[in-house]
Chains A and B, each alone.
Chain A
């Protein structure tokens, strides 16, 4: 069964600090792995997308890494801001899936405090 596990479930950090969120998956083979940010009461918004051949992808203060051998990905947030408080969801799209079905992680709820 395809699974995506995220850790930690929740995290509290002080404004300006860095943090790293983890994502382990069993989906194989996969087409791509995406990190989404979901603000409370809003839909998810894409931060990064990586194919199996990519190791890292940056989007401003967000940097995602991917190790396809160990099936692990991380999202690193640099110099956190209060607006980074949200849920971060790791999503894996299986390969050769005509239905575009996605496997969602449970998310990490990040709270940035002043």
Chain B
């Protein structure tokens, strides 16, 4: 069964609004989680590393004020897309390494964001 969940699975919003996406590790704790975005027919692109108890680490070119990350607990990380624009429309995926599985990354099912 799924070991990493995401909510919501898809969301449609108007330009200018903010959208929060949740990523939860099920049955294991993750001090680190990763957020990716994926455009159609392209591979995953790492956006940021979410760290429990400290600030997230953002990849070059990713605006930290635009994509707010909060690692609220050892099983929950949230990504908030602030003042969303149509170009933010994408598939957002999170992942978490499971220590008891040699830190293999388990990916969430993804969240499809459409900004009108």
Contacts and interface: CB of A to CB of B under 8 A. Distances in A.
Main secondary structure of the interface of A (DSSP, over half): loop
B38 to A, nearest CB: 9
A88 to B, nearest CB: 11
Query: In the complex, which range does the number of interface residues on chain B fall in?
Result: 20 to 34
Contacts of A34: 104-105
A102 B44 CA distance: 10
A94 interface: no
Contact of A41 (B4, B32, B43, B110): B110
Nearest to A103: B46
A35 to B, nearest CB: 12
Interface in B97-116: 97, 103-110, 112
Given A89-B44, A99-B32, A100-B32, A45 B107 contact: yes
A84 to B, nearest CB: 18
Contacts of A36: 107
A89 B46 contact: no
Contacts of A109: 41
Contacts of A44: 44, 93, 107
